[in-house]
Structure 1
């Protein structure tokens, strides 16, 4: 019923497994390696058709400098920061409070409300494109940073609530009862008892939501026009020319756009792994 540990496999199977791991890892990393190598390839090599060979001339500084100066990349980067940070913090804060209420309190409609949060995660976001765009136009929020913040805040809160409600549900209810007996109010219980205990889950969820919002391209394309409120994902696409595309600049811009997500993951890797395994065992 359960997989047999690798240590108990037959020697031949275990050896094949160990040999296949580097091959699978290389195949998985090939696209990223290709983008990284292309980002330091000169335009002359690309025009000559040297797409897959090792670069004869490393144009690291020139390509990344041009990617930053050929388009308002820093402006796009600041837009992404202005969109992502409020959306992530707001979604985590609202979801923590909603998850606490759904997990701790018993009230009519609790199950139905939780089912609504669950069902909302199964709605394909593409079918919301026209109504959300029309709503942003009617509210005067089209092509603004606020429109993207509000959309990501509302869309990510449902997923975050589902995630955090299940974590809070696994906490010993006796801790909350003991705090209430000692005279702690509900806000004190939430801030002093629940939040410290679900810190690994909050860290893991912060990384996930940050990655979702930062890498979003679909809604940035639907709700913005021009450079005023466009995030960095749209800015990377703007590096493509009308007649020809400097793929080395596009690759360099893609690397720059991916750096914040990668840096945040490595900065919070310990909490992320702890959050994923939190509540996996009892006893």
Structure 2
């Protein structure tokens, strides 16, 4: 069912693995390397058609300075934080409560409710574009940060609930039974018994949701029009000129926009891996 560990493979397979792995890694990182090189490439290289060759000079300081000088990228990054942080808190909190209820309590319709959360993840989000946009227009949430936050919370909660339910089902149920015998209320059981054990799952989900929402481009362009609420992924278009695409500035802005989720992943790496490992083997 699972692939054979490379240590147990034949010597020929191990040699092929050692040779092909660096090649696959370079091919996978090639687009990112291209963006990083373009971000320090002078504009004259692009005008001369030097898109893939070595830069004729280093213009990193000029390009990154121009990103902050010629565009409100600072405002866009702040808007991304305003959207992402409440979404992470809201979706993880709701999923923790729902995952606790679906994994601990046995009631009629338990699986139906659970499958409704799971089924929502299989709906192509492009289908929701028109009804969601019309709904935000009618409720006054269009072109607002609140509208993006509410939609992302609703869309991310399904996946988070699936993750949390499977994680909580893997916890020792005897701890909950012992707390009930002592007369502890269900709310205190969740807060003082279950929630501390969910820290790895919460950390893993926080990193995943933060990355999903921060990198969202589709809904940032569908539900937001003005720069006052536009996230950084959609705001990078402001770096383009009216007649010429300034790809060196767009690349520099993309590198700047990618730093927060990368930094969060490395800060939460230990908890992220622990949460995925514990939650993925239970169900």
Is the TM value for this pair above 0.5? yes
Report the TM-score, using the length of structure 1 for normalisation. 0.96
- Tell me how far 1:280 sits from its aligned partner: 5.6
- Matched with 2:218 is 218
For residues 184 and 32 of structure 1, what CA distance do their matches in structure 2 show? 52
**What pairs up with 1:46-195 in 2 under 5 angstroms?**
46-195=46-195
- Tell me how far 1:175 sits from its aligned partner: 0.6
SS of 2:127's partner is: helix
For residues 280 and 132 of structure 2, what CA distance do their matches in structure 1 show? 38
For residues 63 and 114 of structure 1, what CA distance do their matches in structure 2 show? 49
- Matched with 1:231 is 231
- Matched with 2:272 is 272
For structure 1, which segment, 92-101 or 52-61, has the greater mean C-alpha deviation from structure 2 after superposition?
52-61
- Tell me how far 1:2 sits from its aligned partner: 4.2
- Tell me how far 1:12 sits from its aligned partner: 2.0
Report the TM-score, using the length of structure 2 for normalisation. 0.96
For residues 254 and 266 of structure 2, what CA distance do their matches in structure 1 show? 19
- Tell me how far 1:192 sits from its aligned partner: 1.1
**Would the alpha carbon gap of residues 166 and 280 (structure 1) be closer, same or farther in structure 2, given more than 3 Å must change?**
closer
Paired residues, number: 282
Structure 1 stretches of 4+ moved >6 Å: none
- Structure 2 residue ranges without an equivalent (≥5): none
For residues 46 and 280 of structure 1, what CA distance do their matches in structure 2 show? 46
For residues 87 and 2 of structure 2, what CA distance do their matches in structure 1 show? 40
SS of 2:216's partner is: coil
- Tell me how far 1:186 sits from its aligned partner: 1.0
- Tell me how far 1:187 sits from its aligned partner: 1.3
Deviation track 1:77-100 (CA, whole Å, cap 9, x = no partner) reads 111111111011011001100110
- Matched with 2:206 is 206
- Tell me how far 1:256 sits from its aligned partner: 0.6
CA RMSD of aligned residues (A): 1.3
SS of 2:54's partner is: coil
- Tell me how far 1:3 sits from its aligned partner: 2.8
- Structure 1 residue ranges without an equivalent (≥5): none
